[in-house]
Amino acid sequence: MKTKIILLDIDGTLFNPLSFIEDFYQTVSQVFNLSDQDIDEIKKIYEQTKEEYDYFYPPYFESEITKKIPKIQGDKLHGILWDVDLFEKNVYKDASVVNDLSKTAIIGIFSKGDSKFQKQKIKFIKKLADENIHIFKDKTKNLKPVSENYKEFEVYLIDNEIEVLKVAKNIRSNLFAILIDRAGLEEVEKSIIKIKGLEELKGII
């Protein structure tokens, strides 16, 4: 019986949202023969969407694009944004280690955003039960109830946001808080473990 649970953030941890949206801009520009001005408008809508919802909400994003740029067809736009190949392309290469880690620990998700959209990003994880997928609009407010789900487990929380990890440590001091800092720029306190890539988890868990 597995006694460890690994709770992984998605954006910035398993998936690169920055390269994803750039690939989206490039594809949508080619498909609809858009001008630089059109792309600038779409970029503004993207930022407005995140500001409006405090995370990326696809229905609003798609609706605003077709409203402001009528030549863009909604069904084609939806197909581009939700293309499986586009998602797979932007999963970090080192995320493949997750399937290896599933041999010794339960794999879970603790993420922020639109549930349906976030789940598209983690389809590559083979052993991932629905009851271990936790996706919220606000992560910090849900840290305590999620932590209580795993009272009997050794919990490893991996995130690229240091504030989330600090809150988690305050809630459960024996939780392993792991910051993934791919750029290597963050300073961390002793209670938080810092890694630059997911391969390093093999030496920790």
Pair 71, 172 in one domain: no
What is residue 6's three-state secondary structure? strand
Do 78 and 97 fall within a single domain? no
Beta bridge partners of 192: 177
The CATH number assigned to the domain holding 193 equals 3.40.50.1000
Tell me: do 38 and 100 sit in the same domain.
Answer: no
Q: CA nearest 158: which of 97, 115, 87? A: 97
Q: What mean pLDDT value characterizes the chain? A: 96
| Tens-place pLDDT, residues 32-81 | 999 999 999 999 999 999 999 999 999 999 999 999 999 999 999 999 99
Q: What is the pLDDT of residues 100-159, one digit of tens each?
A: 999 999 999 999 999 999 999 999 998 899 999 999 999 999 999 999 999 999 999 999
Number of structural domains found in the chain: 2
Is residue 118 located within the same domain as residue 148? yes
Q: How far apart are CA 202 and CA 205, in angstroms?
A: 6
Same domain, 22 and 113: no
Task: Evaluate if residue 1 carries a pLDDT over 80.
Answer: no
User: How many angstroms separate the CA atoms of 77 and 81, rounded?
Assistant: 6
Q: Are 119 and 67 members of one domain? A: no
**Domain span at 160:** 4-16+92-203
Total-model pTM: 0.95
- Identify the helix (H) or strand (E) that includes residue 141: helix 139-148
Q: Tens digits of per-residue pLDDT, 89-102?
A: 999 999 999 999 99
Output DSSP code: residue 105: S
**Final residue of a structural domain among 70, 88, 106:** 88
State whether 70 and 96 are in the same domain.
Answer: no
Residue 193 CA, distance from chain mean position: 20
Which residues have C-beta within 8 Å of that of residue 145, sequence separation ≥ 6? none
Of 41, 60, 88, which residue constitutes the final position of a domain? 88
**Which of 69, 88, 107 delimits the end of a domain?**
88
